[in-house]
Every structure is written in structure tokens, then in C-alpha cells.
Amino acid sequence: MVTNHGWGYALGNALLIAAIAALLVGGPSIWIVAVIILAVGAPVDESVGDTDNHISESHVLFFQANVYATLPLLALATLALWRLVALTFHTGIIAVIPQVFPAIGSGGYADVGVAVFLVGYCYAVFGATVGHELTHRTGVLAAYVSARGLFALTFNIGFTIFHIHGHHRQVATFADPATARRGEYILAFVARTIAAQFLSALKFEAARERQRGHMPFGLSNRAVSGQLYSLGILIIAAVIAGVPGVIASVIAGLVGRFFHELVNYVQHFGLVRVEGSPVGPRHTWDCHRLLSNLLHYNLPMHADHHMFAGKPFWKLDRVANAPVLPHGYQTMVVVAFVPSLWQRTMGPLLAAWDSQAANDEERALIRQRGWEGRC
């Protein structure tokens, strides 16, 4: 078990800075940083092992600075991507004013493809994670604006509404779009949850607007007006890098949203709760791997988060009786793409949960749905 001294939470922003530098330099550097960020995470996470998570409260200012630095850094990464696209395709501002960008940092089409994937991955791991943290800081304007800005990059402004008013109330029930069901393959889950989360946010906001005497789908509906954030990003992309810039932004956003939902998939997979019953630690999979917790700002201490949603990330810790994933988030996402391996990994854990953690009502629901022995 490794001691978490707190300074490691700068790792995410350090990797973001490395990605920005690679995008500005162009060429092989993009591939090198992409491999480091994408491919090394799982092996390192498993080799380092679990954290004791004893974090000093003296680092709070450092933690806050890190969280609020993520949006500016992702904005710089996005600008660097547009610059690379503009230089490669000779479009946007560079086509009108060639002197606006120095020649260094251009690349081939393959470099652009890797860059788009890299930026999209950063949107998920760093942007969505920090956006989630800030979404829970209700009543703080800077947190509200930053969270919406971060989720706008993946066209997911609805998260700031659905997550609070939907997921945290419905977690582990059949009604929760963000809880993966037994027997549900990962791609089917992603398709279902993306559509259902947005519709849930839209429905909640429409009801709120009707209560306030407003048009249900007007601009005061936050699920509707939030789309202007994403639209603004695409307009800037068009100005700087033309149509290729818009396409790059859309693909990067979709990549980011996809990876974000992969984490959702593993966080509650197969767990069951009777609708209206209290949420307990047993309704969320915990993960104690050090690297996963550093990169995701303790989001893997997920049971504590669902018990006390307002806790800042540095106060989250292990919770007794919470089921624990056998690997870190990066590893679990890879395992989820191999159905036979996923079944071998999660099947015994779900069987143990059914017999040892579930209550009688939950076991009855499992039998009713035909989920006994199913993964």
C-alpha cells in the first residue's frame, strides 16, 4: 500500500502540459505523449498498487489551484489542436493570414488523427473528472461556469443537471441511465446512457421552468442554453481552423464523451437497489488504486462520494462494506471490452455481492429480472 501525500494530484495537469507541448511541437512528439498517457496508465496503476489515502488538509489551496487550472489548460490544448489542424490543412485563419502561426508544429494527417484522439482522451480523464468535482460545488459561480465549460468540450452540459438530480437519486436502480445493467455490453450501455442522460436533464429542466412560469424549452432551460457553450466552441474552431477544425473538435468531443461513459460503466455495473430505498455503500464499486485516484481526483472512492456528495475530493476515503473492483479504472475499461474476460472478472464479484451484500428485496429483484448468475 502506497501513501498518498497529496502532491500527486498535479499529475493530471502535468500530463496536460506535456500534451500541449507535444501538440505545439508536432510530429513524433504527439505520438510519444499519446502512448505515455493512453498506454502506460493501466500497467503503472497495477504495479504501484493501492493507496492508504491519508491526505494532509494543509494542501487545500494546492488542490483548489489544480482543479481550477484544468479548464484553462484544456482550452490551451484545444487551441493547440486547432493550430495543428490549420497548419496541416492550410485552412481557417492561417489560410487568410499565414503569418498568424509559426511554421513549426505542423504534421501529417496521421499526426492530426492521433492529436484528435489524445485531446479527446484528455477531455474525458481530466476534463470530465474535474467537471464532475466542480458540479458538486453548488452555489459557487466559478465552479458552475468551469464545470459547464469543461462538459461543453464533450457536448455534455446536461451532465451538470442530470448527475445531481438524476444519478445521485436513482443510482443502482433500473431507472438510472448511468447504472450499467447485468448482461449489458459496454457499447450498448454507452448508446443508451448518452441519450437517456440528456433526455433526463431536459425533462427535469422543463418541469422546473413550468413551475417558474417560463417556457419549458426556452433559453432559461439550462439543458437548452448549455448547448450554446458547445456551439461557441465550434464557431471558434471554424474561425481558427475552418471546417477541418470543426470536424476535429466534434470527433475529439465524441472520443471524450465515450471514454467518460466507459468509466461510468464500471462504477456501478450490475449493482441493484430498490427504487426509493436508501443509498448505501454497497451500491457503488470502490477502487483503491493510487494512480486511478490521482488522475481522477479520488472519484474511484466512489462509495464515499455517493454517501456524501458534497465532500471535496481530498476528503473522500474508503468506506467499509463497499464492494471493491479488483483493478484500477484504466485496466477495468480495457477488461470491459473483452466480454469473456469481463464475465470472469465481474461474475464472481456479483455472485458474492448477491449472497453477502444484497438485502432480501434486492435479491428478489435480481431473481425477478433473471439476473442470478448473470454478468
**Contact call for residues 172 and 283 (beta carbons, < 8 A):** yes
pLDDT for position 100: 61
Q: How confident is the model at residue 104 (pLDDT cuts 50, 70, 90)?
A: low
Among the listed residues 248, 239, 256, the one whose alpha carbon sits nearest the alpha carbon of residue 84? 248
Distance (Å, whole) CA 262 – CA 256: 10
How many domains is the chain built from?
Answer: 1
pLDDT for position 102: 60
pLDDT for position 1: 75
C-alpha cell read off for 138: 453548488
| pTM, entire model | 0.94
Q: How confident is the model at residue 253 (pLDDT cuts 50, 70, 90)?
A: very high
Q: Is residue 142 part of a domain?
A: yes
Q: Is residue 80 part of a domain?
A: yes
Q: Is residue 36 part of a domain?
A: no
pLDDT for position 99: 61
List, in order, residues 6 or more apart from 301 with CB less than 8 Å away: 53, 286, 287, 288, 293, 316, 317, 318, 319
pLDDT for position 98: 61
**Contact call for residues 46 and 331 (beta carbons, < 8 A):** yes
Q: Is residue 110 part of a domain?
A: yes
Q: Is residue 304 part of a domain?
A: no
Among the listed residues 291, 292, 322, 325, the one whose alpha carbon sits nearest the alpha carbon of residue 305? 322
Q: Is residue 3 part of a domain?
A: no
**SS3 label, residue 110:** helix
Q: Is residue 18 part of a domain?
A: no
103 has pLDDT over 60: no
pLDDT for position 268: 96
pLDDT for position 94: 72
pLDDT tens per residue across span 40-63: 788 999 999 998 877 777 789 999
Write out the residue range of the structural domain in which residue 61 sits: 57-281+333-368
95 has pLDDT over 70: no
Q: Is residue 252 part of a domain?
A: yes
